[in-house]
Structure formats: structure tokens, C-alpha cells
């Protein structure tokens, strides 16, 4: 099984998650948002599955720098998708697509239950 792994290579959480996958012998294909961007259809599917509050990282500097109007537009899924495609660094990292669904963020116990 090869997972689709989405993130930014210099993110500490992405580094931890990749290290965990490697240690557990799990193959993955890495998609770098900085170089490859974010696909609107995928982001929309993630939000439909997990919700805006899970997929959108409101704690990062990119979100905090947005205007109040832009922040308000993130409240609905269409506005959030638009923002996340324009600013993929606001997507909570990492996102992993696997046969059983998707994982957002890295929680070792959740990943163990889903992937091992």
C-alpha cells in the first residue's frame, strides 16, 4: 500500500510523520504544497470528510495575516477551499490519504490504528 502524503518538507510535524512512516516501513508518495500547489477538488473532499475546522490551520502566521474579510470567508467550505488553494500553507499538515480514508495532522495513536 502506498499512501498519498501532503505537506511541506520543512514543517516539524511533517518531518515527525515521515519519520514514523519510514520507521514502520510504510510507503508513501510525497506531495509538496510549496512546489506543486493544492488541488481544489482534493481540498474540497477533505473538507467534506473532516470539516473546515480540521483542515484549515487557523493558528499559523499565514491565516493570522489575512484580512478580517478573508478570515470570514473561510467559514463556509467554498470560501475555505478558495483560500486553501491560494495559500496551501494554511492546510493543517500533514494530510494523508489511505485506503480507509484520510488523516489530518499527526497523532501517533490515530495513525497506528489506521495504518498498522
Catalytic residues: 11
Rounded Cα distance between 13 and 57, Å, is: 13
Identify whether the C-beta of residue 55 lies closer than 8 Å to the C-beta of residue 21: no
Rounded Cα gap, residues 81 and 56, in angstroms: 9
Amino acid at each position: 500500500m502506498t499512501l498519498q502524503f501532503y505537506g511541506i518538507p520543512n514543517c516539524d510535524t511533517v518531518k515527525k510523520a515521515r519519520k514514523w512512516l519510514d520507521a514502520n516501513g510504510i510507503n508513501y508518495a510525497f506531495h509538496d504544497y510549496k512546489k506543486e500547489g493544492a488541488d481544489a477538488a482534493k481540498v474540497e473532499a477533505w473538507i467534506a470528510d473532516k470539516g473546515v475546522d480540521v483542515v484549515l490551520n487557523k493558528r499559523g502566521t499565514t491565516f493570522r495575516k489575512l484580512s478580517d474579510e478573508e478570515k470570514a470567508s473561510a467559514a463556509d467550505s467554498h470560501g475555505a477551499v478558495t483560500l486553501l488553494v491560494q495559500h496551501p500553507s494554511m492546510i493543517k499538515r500533514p494530510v494523508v490519504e489511505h485506503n480507509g480514508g484520510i488523516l489530518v495532522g499527526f497523532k501517533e495513536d490515530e495513525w497506528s490504528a489506521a495504518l498498522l
